[in-house]
Structure 1
């Protein structure tokens, strides 16, 4: 009887442990690890982007973000489930203000531990920093590896645009100089050409006309030029 009772208690204990192992929500449920490589990019005066990575092997169905001003005047929580996104945009921020943000992974049963707090400062409206530039004076800043890539891409685009504009301006100036030189050469050629004067008009009478006598004077029947006419006077 005693042996049978010990056997029943042992079997019951094994069944209880097996049931707890198959139902993590009851005892010892596993939770995902905290997100890693948390970084803040795309800083603006009133917005910023938070990105992170999830360790391999963890089952994650969403994320939870805690945002807080360092002066303690504002706190905000953002929670998204049924998503595989690894980024989130923080909006409605105050310009030139220091914030801290923490990210948690949402698992099927429970949330992970919060990540290490990341501090950042929003820009002023007058600032013109490239997208992705963080406040390097913050000691807890993470994820700076993305910043050089963003800066390099933007610099390449700006340099390409400037080179194209320079090429267009140079081509325009060259065409303008060619047109100007052609106009100048045409004017010089016109100035070097001699002026052609028209010959004076000739006046002549008809070939069948007879000599004209007037007061003893005889004129030639053909007058080639009015200025060269000859008059003969007989005594």
Structure 2
């Protein structure tokens, strides 16, 4: 892909998602003007590999969209195994965390994982318990949690949280006016907690995928 096409693709993604240049620059550890200079002036001429991977993961697109190499089909034995942990994230009153024993693995295409996560090694699958996140998440769903996507990159979305000794899965919304978040259940029958200080919540990781049995 021509680098001008990659800059144009990034600009369209930013406009579509309502993101801002400075925030994305900070996301990848750069100065606030970095992304704007890349798009408007072509400086740097090409994104560094780690920056491109982080931006692709943020927007949920393949690196190829932002000028990366075209993904190669995973050959036999070329899949990435993600551990299924014997712990539960409660979508209800709260589940006590057990020892994180592995109960098998699920294999994913590596190019797909790179498109949605910065580091596949930080991923794990855990089981949802309860109904407070219906209709988004149901009891028994398997969720893919990115443990590398926590406090420093925190943004609106669904996260696994540790509160006291329990794990819960909830939707969070950042308060732009201060260092606080709202913790919400998608099921309106359950309560929400507005304006919780960030210091009171431990963010285990962001939920980036869900799998469930049909029928």
TM over 0.5: no
Question: What range describes the TM-score normalised by the shorter chain of this pair?
Answer: under 0.3
Q: TM-score, normalised by structure 2?
A: 0.19
Higher Rg: 1
- Kindly indicate which of the two structures has a greater share of residues assigned to strand: 2
